[in-house]
Amino acid sequence: MMVATVALVIGGVRSGKSGFAASLASRFAEDKAVRFIATARADASSHLSMRIDRHRSERPGHWRTIEAPLDIGDALLKPGDEAAAIADCLSVWISNIMLECGDSDAPGFEERARSGVENGLASLFAALRDSERPVVIVTNEAGCGVAPPTRLGAVFADLQGEVNQAVASRADIVWQVVAGIPNRIKAPG
């Protein structure tokens, strides 16, 4: 089995990374359908729901959306004829896992969160290994600002940075988007 291309698109909030990821997946798919793996929960806050609706309206109608707030790997491997896939985004996925771990002040929270993320990454990496379609993964950059003042924020920032490094190391191509401008920071080979 030929291993498909894996591209990571990283950037700050509202940097243009999702739009760039969509254009990249479109190029991989060559006008065929794209599987859009959404990690945001549709039942989230009204602000997030409005963003989800806006993102959906910007995608071509023939793209298939799969909501996967906790298991990106499983969503990647579902049968379908899409020519490429996008997973958007790892930051929301990490938050979802952390929310499943209960009270952040309770003993063992960090261990549960770390275990959930590690298990999810193992599933994602297995799916990337077995995928026959190119995959574009979107994530937020961590650590470009002030260190989080809360324990919850610090656990999230640590996990986000570790996930970004792990996925970037396995990606064939890594793009960083700044102010809507994509810059390739890792090339194949």
Angle at 164 between CA 5 and CA 176, to 5 degrees: 70
Q: 């700044």: which residue's tokens?
A: 178
35 with 86: CB under 8 angstroms?
Answer: yes
Active site residue 62: no
Active-site position among 51, 55, 64, 186: 55
Angle at 68 between CA 66 and CA 73, to 5 degrees: 100
Q: Is the dihedral of CA 25, 31, 35, 38 positive or negative?
A: positive
Q: Which amino acid is at 14?
A: R
Q: 């929310």: which residue's tokens?
A: 99
Contacts of 57 by beta carbon, 8 Å cutoff, 6+ apart? none
Q: How far apart are CA 46 and CA 143, in angstroms?
A: 27
Catalytic residues, which ones?
Answer: 55
